[in-house]
Amino acid sequence: MVVNYAKSSSAAEEVAEIIRNSGGRALVYRADVAEPAGATALVKAAVSEFGRIDILVNNAGVTRDSLVLRMKDEDWESVLDVNLRGAFNCIRAAAAEMVKSRYGRIINISSVVGLIGNVGQANYCAAKAGLIGLTRAMARELGSRNITVNAVAPGFITTEMTAGLPEKIRERMLDQIPAKRFGTPEEVADVVAFLATEAAGYINGQTIAVDGGMTCC
């Protein structure tokens, strides 16, 4: 497995160590996927190390929250560049290799805000909604080559960010969730892992919300 990072390598090294301790092979690589050359170099490194590429998970993401009337051009552009253009760049590079072997699993990490929107996140919502459209288009383009393309849309997940929210905001979030709790990173990872398997071979072009029922209505 290749674990990519853009700035700090500490989290990537931690993931790689977990993989190695579980008996797998892991390569830590640094690439700015918002740049086509970065995505291409990342895929080339993966093929050089492992011989082929079977699974691509696009989870690079940044936020630059602001109301539209106050949003700076660079904040709009940077979020679209990383969250949407980065996924496009990686898909284009990886799909070229997957087509050769006529096999692939591509999983894009979107968000429930790409489905329902969110105040102060027009850039992030646009990028995540665009990722859902990209998923559907690529599923149609690549499906005949035994390559599936799906999206996972997490809802409110327990992270350092949500743990630090004021209690009133947490309560307001929980009111929107039928399950009345936040999800866990493991629950998102389980869905991603399933979509990467042979068992998910007939699931294509779908967006699976992992949100405790938040978007069910």
Residue 18 annotated in ligand binding: no
Q: Which of 5, 29, 103, 124 is catalytic?
A: 124
Could you tell me which of 36, 25, 31, 26 has the C-alpha nearest to residue 5?
Answer: 31
* Tens digit of each residue's pLDDT (9 = 90 or more) over 182-196: 999 999 999 999 999
- Tell me the C-alpha distance between 165 and 142, whole Å: 41
- pTM score of the predicted model: 0.94
Residue 216 annotated in ligand binding: no
- Tell me the C-alpha distance between 96 and 102, whole Å: 10
Domain range summary for the chain, segments of one domain joined by +: 1-30, 32-210
Residue 59 annotated in ligand binding: yes
* Tens digit of each residue's pLDDT (9 = 90 or more) over 68-98: 999 999 999 999 999 999 999 999 999 999 9
What is the distance, to the nearest Å, from the Cα of residue 116 to the centroid of all Cα atoms in its chain? 17
Residue 124 annotated in ligand binding: yes
202 is catalytic: no
* Tens digit of each residue's pLDDT (9 = 90 or more) over 98-127: 999 999 999 999 999 999 999 999 999 999
At residue 165, the pLDDT reads 76
Task: Report strand pairing: 2-5 vs 207-210.
Answer: unpaired
Residue 125 annotated in ligand binding: yes
Cβ atoms of residues 113 and 139 within 8 Å? no
Looking at the chain, the whole-number percentage of residues with pLDDT higher than 70 is 100
CATH number at 32-210: 3.40.50.720
At residue 54, the pLDDT reads 98
Neighbours of 91 (CB within 10 A): 26
- Predicted confidence (pLDDT) at residue 172 exceeds the cutoff of 80: yes
At residue 123, the pLDDT reads 97
